[in-house]
A = this chain, B = another copy of it.
Amino acid sequence: MTLPHIRSLCLVLLLGIAPQVSHAQSVLSVADKIDIVFIALSAILVFFMQAGFALLESGMVRAKNTINVMMKNYVDLCVVMLVFWLFGYGLMWGDNPSGLYGTSKFLLNPDDPGELLFLTYQTMFAATAATIVSGALAERINFGSYILISVLMSAIIYPVFGSWAWAEGGWLKEAGFIDFAGATVVHSTGGWCAFAAAIILGPRLGRFANDGSKRPILGHNLTMVALAGFILWFGWYGFNLGSSGTVDESTPRVLFNTTMAGAAGGVAGVVTMWIGRQHILLTSTVVASIGGLVAVTAGAATMTPAFAAVTGAVGGVVSVVGINALDKMGVDDAVGAVPCHAFAGFWGTLAAGLFLEGNMFDPEIIIIQLAGAMSCMLWAFLGALMIFGLVNKIIALRVTSSTERRGLDFAEHYEIGYPEFQLAAVNPGKQGR
């Protein structure tokens, strides 16, 4: 094969893609322009949630693994964006004759500005779903395996469920399933995959004593955890607002409901810990407010503010109770991803049915909501168990014990987070809480 041949081939490969695009002659209407600004800025806010997820996980782990956490979050973002464009978007939003998965729109270079905008917004959502998994696997997963898991999740698990619930023709959508901005589609899917992966991986060394009692591993920088909470909340507005696809009368309601749910989640989390005579931890408070935000995500557009606050408050309670439940189950989830994304997402999906304005407590709707939330649990949890289990068999998800003890940063990445700062070994169970 000569050089000109290779050049031609490259051109064909790239131009085979390019010709789909032509000059859009359409003059945009003013309403279109408003929606472009609205969705573009929403997408940008959702993008910024990545910083929140990264800081949340980084702050909650030990300093010796902070590079690993950041690499996971930074590289999964880059990889997932490309993968979703290449494949996931088509599987989720392509023509869906079976109601089970999409079959077109792979590697899209659309002509239509609206489709391109939607593609971008959906790419940010896919990246969110994928990155949720990261926190539950912190401090023990092999970097390469993690990236592979992210690819499989954003190429298969997430878009297939998305096609059920959101795509025209999807069986859940056709049944009337309500999930406004993805409490189930994004957050529960991510949360259940995280649950499966945490089970397959097993807990971090020393996280549970031999008698099964909990020995907390302290996060190395809780200032970053609080900053992460603010950033996630900030980005969440883009997540929920943009999900209506257009600016309409529901937009202010979504804005206010999101605000109240986050606030109620945080307060309810604090009250839950106080009533339960637990220490009122900053980490759990942040997770509780995120739980409130997750919960309202399903019904933010179709609830009155009072019910949004109730939904958020219960989301906060569920998150705090969930953290304790996972501890009792011996599942090690460093950032509370499972309680606040899977459990609070489940609750929020029910709440969207229970508190549906104009048709509250309708058993038919509640059953559909339950079916959607359950099918997500089954698909994502079992699918992740199988896929991640398979990966585990082939290339081993977990690093060696010596790497884990030494820290993944130096052992796997040859960089350390804070080379000048003198660190003390904080052994689980040795530090008072």
Q: Is A24 an interface residue (CB 8 A)?
A: yes
How many subunits of this chain does the assembly comprise? 3
Interface string of A350-374 (1 = CB under 8 A from B): 0000000110000000000000000
Q: Is the interface of A mostly helix, strand, loop or mixed?
A: helix
Query: Chain A interface: which size bin?
Result: 35 or more
Q: Is A137 an interface residue (CB 8 A)?
A: no
Q: Is A177 an interface residue (CB 8 A)?
A: no
Interface string of A48-66 (1 = CB under 8 A from B): 1011001100100011001
Task: Tell me whether B252 and A40 are in contact (CB under 8 A).
Answer: yes
A309 to B416, CA, bound (A): 30
Contact residues of A between 218 and 248, Cβ < 8 Å to B: 218-227, 229-231, 233-234, 237-238, 241, 247-248
Task: Tell me whether B74 and A289 are in contact (CB under 8 A).
Answer: yes
Nearest Cβ distance between residue A385 and chain B, in whole angstroms?
Answer: 28
Task: Tell me whether B262 and A78 are in contact (CB under 8 A).
Answer: yes
Which residues of chain B are within 8 angstroms of A51 by Cβ–Cβ distance?
A: 227, 230-231, 234
Task: Tell me whether A413 and B310 are in contact (CB under 8 A).
Answer: no
Which residues of chain B are within 8 angstroms of A425 by Cβ–Cβ distance?
A: 420
Nearest Cβ distance between residue A403 and chain B, in whole angstroms?
Answer: 15
Task: Tell me whether B256 and A120 are in contact (CB under 8 A).
Answer: yes
A359 to B136, CA, bound (A): 49
Nearest Cβ distance between residue A433 and chain B, in whole angstroms?
Answer: 5
Which residues of chain B are within 8 angstroms of A41 by Cβ–Cβ distance?
A: 37, 41
A402 to B388, CA, bound (A): 51
Task: Tell me whether A264 and B304 are in contact (CB under 8 A).
Answer: no
A206 to B236, CA, bound (A): 42
Binds B, one of A25-33, A160-168, A179-187: A25-33
Which residues of chain B are within 8 angstroms of A423 by Cβ–Cβ distance?
A: 420-422
A55 to B78, CA, bound (A): 21
Which residues of chain B are within 8 angstroms of A396 by Cβ–Cβ distance?
A: none
Contact residues of A between 400 and 431, Cβ < 8 Å to B: 410, 413-426, 431
Taking A21-B357, A36-B247, A81-B260 as contacts, is the C-beta distance between A222 and B415 under 8 angstroms? yes
